[in-house]
Amino acid sequence: MFLHAALTRNRRLVDHAIDAVRSGAIRPGTFVVDVDTVVGNAELLRDAAAAVDLRLHFMTKQIGRQPAVIRA
């Protein structure tokens, strides 16, 4: 299910990950995250929450508390 969504929404990321595994740049089973998309989604959430005066609490358990993603 996740792979189908990734192929539909961000085929370039999937292709890049495949190339990285094949070249040995990353190991099979490595999580690959499009940080630009994470930032864009966070901005959309921030703006939508601000429009209705809500505060957001960022949960990182889905991404394994990855420092680079959390900073973004």
The total of other beta-carbon atoms located within 10 Å of residue 17's CB is 19
- pLDDT over 80 at 64, yes or no: no
pTM, 2 dp: 0.74
CA geometry: angle at 45 spanning 42 and 51, to 5°? 140
Measured CA to CA, the distance from residue 56 to residue 47 in angstroms comes to 11
Query: What percent of the chain shows pLDDT beyond 70?
Result: 99
C-alpha torsion angle, residues 67, 13, 41, 59 (rounded to 10) = -40
Give the pLDDT confidence score for residue 43 in this predicted structure. Answer: 94
Per-residue pLDDT reduced to its tens digit, 5-37: 889 999 999 999 999 999 999 999 988 889 899
CB 34 within 8 A of CB 24: no
